[in-house]
Amino acid sequence: MHLYILILVFKFTFLLFNILRFAYRYKKKRLKKEEQERKLSHVMKEFLVQKSSLDESSSSTLTAIPLDLLNENQVPVPPQSFPEEVQILKEILSDPELWNSFCISSQTRQILVERGPHQIKEFEFPINKGRRRFSPSHYLKVLNNGEVVERSYLLYYN
């Protein structure tokens, strides 16, 4: 009888350990994702409209100053380009998982439809735990009649 109780306690402890381990991994993954979203939020605010701002009615208006009203000494300054922010934006546009975090503006959506998602083709894909790796040959499909069709909808996400 004591052996049976000991086995039940062991099974319960093992089950509890696995649940706690899963919860720890989930929390760690969630915190990492939140940290990444926080780092990218300043870039996203420049190019995308947040969902919360769509619900609120905005009464503010933008005023434009014609160029001919500027003084002769004033020269319009083009916006600064930050290469790392542009790279981050390209990463966001190529990652469908981040599209749900923000509402994409109609202009950005139109660019995505015209260009399609970015496929990584020339890359040394990493080997996973099962000693397997993604191959760029998955982007193409050979039909029964010998025709080769590109699968433009496939994306590799690490």
pLDDT at 63: 52
Beta carbons of 126 and 135 less than 8 angstroms apart = no
Q: Given a cut of 60, is residue 87 above it in pLDDT?
A: yes
Q: Given a cut of 90, is residue 148 above it in pLDDT?
A: yes
Domain ranges of the chain: 119-158
pLDDT at 104: 67
Report the alpha-carbon angle 158-156-32, nearest 5.
25
pLDDT at 57: 47
Greatest CA span in the chain, whole angstroms?
A: 97
Q: Given a cut of 50, is residue 96 above it in pLDDT?
A: yes
Please give the mean pLDDT across all residues of the chain.
Answer: 71
Beta carbons of 145 and 136 less than 8 angstroms apart = no
pLDDT at 70: 46
Enumerate the H helices of the chain as residue ranges. 2-47, 51-55, 83-93, 106-115
pLDDT for 105-138, tens place per residue? Answer: 777 777 777 776 667 777 788 888 888 888 888 8
**Rounded to whole angstroms, how far apart are CA atoms 50 and 44?**
8
